[in-house]
Amino acid sequence: MKTRREFIKISALGIGAAAIASQSNRWGFGLPLYADENKSNKSKATKLTPTYCEVCFWKCAAWAHINDNGKILKLTGNANDPQCNGRLCPRGTGGVGMVYDDDRLKTPLIRVVENGKQTYREASWPEALDYIAEKMKEIAAKNGPESIALFNHGSAGGHFTHLLKSFGSSTITAPSFAQCRGPRETGFETTFGAQVGSPEPTDIRDTRCLVLIGSHIGENMHNAQVQEFSDAVDKGATIITVDPRLSIAANKSKYWLPIKPATDIALLLSWIHVLIDEEIYNKEYVAKHTMGLDQLKVHVSTFTPEWAYGITNIKPSVIRQTAREMADAAPSVLIHPGRHVTWYGDDAQRSRAIAILNGLLGSWGARGGFFMKASAGIPDFPHPEYPKPKWSWPEVLNGKYPFASMSVSNTFIEASISSNDNKYPIKAWFVAGTNLPVAIPMMSQMQKALQDLELVVVVDTMPTEVTGFADVVLPECTYLERHDDLRDVPHRVPTIALREPAIEPMWESKPAWWIAKQIGERLGLHDYFKYEDFEEVISWQLQQKGLTLAELKSKGIVVLPRHNESPYLDPKEDYHFNTPSGKVEFYSSALASAGFDPIPVYTPHPEPEDGFYRLIYGRAPMHTFSRTANNPNLTDLMDENSVWVHPKVASLWGLEEGKYTYLRNQDGITSNFPIKVRVTERIRWDSVYMVHGFGHNQKELSRAFGKGANDTQLITNVMIDPMMGGTGMRGNFVTFTATGATEEKEAAL
């Protein structure tokens, strides 16, 4: 059957060829390492512009160093920013590569049919914006503005959120909940009445014992967190890392617990058992602040370390010893909540087990545990009240996932597929800053949704996979060429950071605030966009805080005093937790009455069949998801991922270090591209590991195309968390097809 909306690879176009050539000459970008660039240009910077980094969502405040010719020479961290302490991570330093990447989107594109084949043609901005506004009006007239949805991640999202809300839709979602940290927010909220949030309020700096369940700090490069981790190691804090792989963090740990994947809940219950059985939990805190200890005690009575050993492969003596280490350090102890926690579909319960363990140790609100965060609170620029939508993301849930506290991206995809029993159909997508086919493992549903949607607008900087979905592609300029909202991240102290354009937008690219305003005006929403330039908005907001734009321009960031004095709970004072009982809930009646386990239980997960290995994945220090895969500065540091295989397994399959193999999963899906083999004792024999974000199939990404394999492609079994809708991605198993892979790889080079 001929599909209505074909997936277009932008490579089919000859777009921007002239522009590429002239830009190459202009910048002389022979792709040097940014370090060399920095050195040779060190003395030549004549201007510093403040920004905050957009290469990941830690948002480090930084300075762009610019020369007289208006070229960005390098980026450095802002010394006054507690999120980075003056240092950028390798990705942040390499951010310049995002600007001077010749493969960038350069003009708006509109989907057309030429000679019976779908393709894109270049369009002017007025043409593209008119097209979108007309379509939006048409769709809103038929189905209401609520049927226009936004998928977003990053700064562009704020501007399109404002646009959609002004138009009457709050059908807005992001992959950062159901593909990332949603389960832990649900787990902590049902226990402490508070979410963890981003950045995490983990007081690693002052901790005496840090327990990492998977969280691979050091590969997960969230800046100040990594710095604090390294300080904690230097100060002699006990680090306990639970990971089937010897991660960088595990390598720095006093205890590495190479757990059998998917069994963490058993370990957590057993730790809880030891704390209660040996009566080494934080009695004062538990008596004062918690409820449900009696039920918890009965619940874990049989979960001895001997029981857990059979499940997790972690020795009983190690389980006892590590539990005692935690108790010794309490309350300055942190069982880290993790961040990407959508693993096995029972992730909210695993996160709840982590929260309960923290509650037993009294670390929530303690120095060296979790601190109470503070933010600056930046007022909205004045605009008329948003119209009240008739429905929003809770209706899109369609009665599912009662403990989802934010929108669930996957349900948006389902609601975009025509069906008679869908009372709240989604008809149009705005996609800003998220590469949906790589971020959400639901390719077949996405394909179906694409047949039924009436409009898909993708706002991106690069021709990544998601641009192939669009009816209209809009080229956003990079973060170094634009204004965005003031940064107000909640942390130990409130801060406000400024992002100003370091250079003018290149080619025809435009900032998201401008694009949103242009569409808004075409929809008659002038009153919501009463500014010529986004600097006016920022300037007004700063004024309300008693600050000036001039001050922010010269400092980049201001650190404000906390409105509530201490980031820690006063042990002598009572505290009302925002749970139904007002206490930390070891036993949750809310969960029980919704039909969920009131205290977490361990349920075994399916095991790989003979000849298959569990596919697990994570981060590399020099890349962020798929967004950096084509960055010339960062591909110089790492341009492909590899698959980690235990030597025993390698010899069984005849896999050799440095050679290539295809991976095939339990559903017969073979990786599009071969992946390099890394033979290493640092991974359990029953699992293989790869870094997420590689294996791009868009030819227009000239550096990333065909480099390494794409984990998402192999994640065809998704286990949805019934509490909050998260997409568990680690129940996939792969085997190897090495024959011919190395030869094919060599032929392709």
| Residues making contact with ligand SF4 (CB under 6 A) | 53, 55-56, 58-60, 84, 88-89, 91-92, 221-223
Q: How far is the CB of 67 from ligand MGD (least distance, A)?
A: 23
Nearer to Mo ion, 23 or 434 (CB): 434
Query: Mask 155-184, x = binds Mo ion (CB under 5 A)?
Result: -------------------------x----
The least distance separating Mo ion from the CB of residue 199, rounded to whole angstroms, comes to 12
Tokens describing residue 324? 């005692």
CB of 53 to ligand SF4, least distance (A): 3
Q: From the CB of 493, what's the least distance to ligand MGD, in Å?
A: 22
Say which DSSP state 481 is in: G
CA 52 to mean position of chain CA atoms: 17
Out of ligand SF4, Mo ion, ligand MGD, none, which partner does residue 245 contact, by CB within 5 to 8 A per kind?
Answer: ligand MGD
Polymer length of the chain: 749
Query: Which of residues 108 and 338 has its CB atom nearest to ligand MGD in the complex?
Result: 338
Q: Where are the beta strands (DSSP E) in 494-624?
A: 495-497, 557-559, 584-585, 613-618
**Of Mo ion, ligand MGD, ligand SF4, none, which one sits near residue 88, judging by CB under 5 to 8 A according to partner kind?**
ligand SF4
Shortest gap between Cβ of 88 and ligand SF4 (angstroms)?
A: 4
Alpha-carbon 29 to chain mean position? 30
Closest CA to 196 of 89, 37, 378, 351: 351
Q: Return the one option of ligand SF4, Mo ion, ligand MGD, none that residue 84 interacts with (CB less than 5 to 8 A, by type).
A: ligand SF4
Residue 54 or 636: the one with the smaller Cβ distance to ligand MGD is: 54
Which long-range CB contacts under 8 A does 225-233 form with residues at least 24 apart?
A: 225/58, 225/199, 225/200, 226/89, 227/85, 227/87, 228/204, 229/204, 231/204, 231/205, 232/204, 232/205, 232/207
Instruction: Pick the closer one to ligand SF4 by CB: 199 or 722.
Output: 199
Q: How many CB atoms lie within 10 A of CB 423?
A: 10
60 and 227 Cβ atoms separated by less than 8 Å = no
Q: To which residue do tokens 């493969």 refer? A: 103
What one-character-per-residue DSSP string does 328-377 give?
A: HHTTSEEE---S---SSS-HHHHHHHHHHHHHHHT-BTSTTSBPPPB---
CA distance linking residue 370 with residue 730, whole number of Å: 28
Question: How near is the Cβ of 225 to ligand SF4 at its closest, in Å?
Answer: 9
Q: Which does 103 bind (CB under 5 to 8 A by kind): Mo ion, ligand SF4, ligand MGD, none?
A: none
CB nearer to ligand MGD: pick between 52 and 577: 52
Which residues make up the interface to ligand MGD (CB under 6 A)? Answer: 54, 56-57, 153-154, 156, 175-176, 179-180, 213-216, 220-222, 242-245, 247, 259, 261-262, 264, 338-340, 343, 432-435, 438-439, 441, 459-462, 464, 466, 476, 478-479, 616-619, 621, 623-627, 689, 692, 711-712, 715, 729-730
- Residues within window 334-353 making contact with Mo ion, judged by CB under 5 A: 340
Ramachandran class of 570: left when φ > 0, alpha when ψ lies in -120 to 50, beta otherwise: beta
Which of 215/588 has CB closer to ligand MGD? 215
Beta bridge partners of 122: 109
> Edge-to-edge strands of the sheet including 61-66?
47-52, 61-66, 72-77
Minimum gap (Å) between residue 106 Cβ and ligand MGD: 14
Nearer to ligand MGD, 210 or 547 (CB): 210
Pairing label, strands 455-460, 428-432: parallel
Instruction: Give the C-alpha separation, 229 to 237, whole Å.
Output: 9
> What is the 8-class DSSP label of residue 480?
G
Straight-line distance from the first to the last Cα atom of the chain, in angstroms, rounded to the nearest whole number: 35
Which of residues 60 and 110 has its CB atom nearest to ligand SF4 in the complex?
60
Q: Which is nearer to ligand MGD, 286 or 458 (CB)?
A: 458
Nearest CB to ligand SF4, comparing residues 91 and 320: 91
User: Counting contacts by CB under 5 A, is residue 66 touching Mo ion?
Assistant: no
- Least distance in angstroms from the C-beta of 40 to ligand MGD: 27
Residues forming contacts to Mo ion in the complex (CB under 5 A) are 180, 340
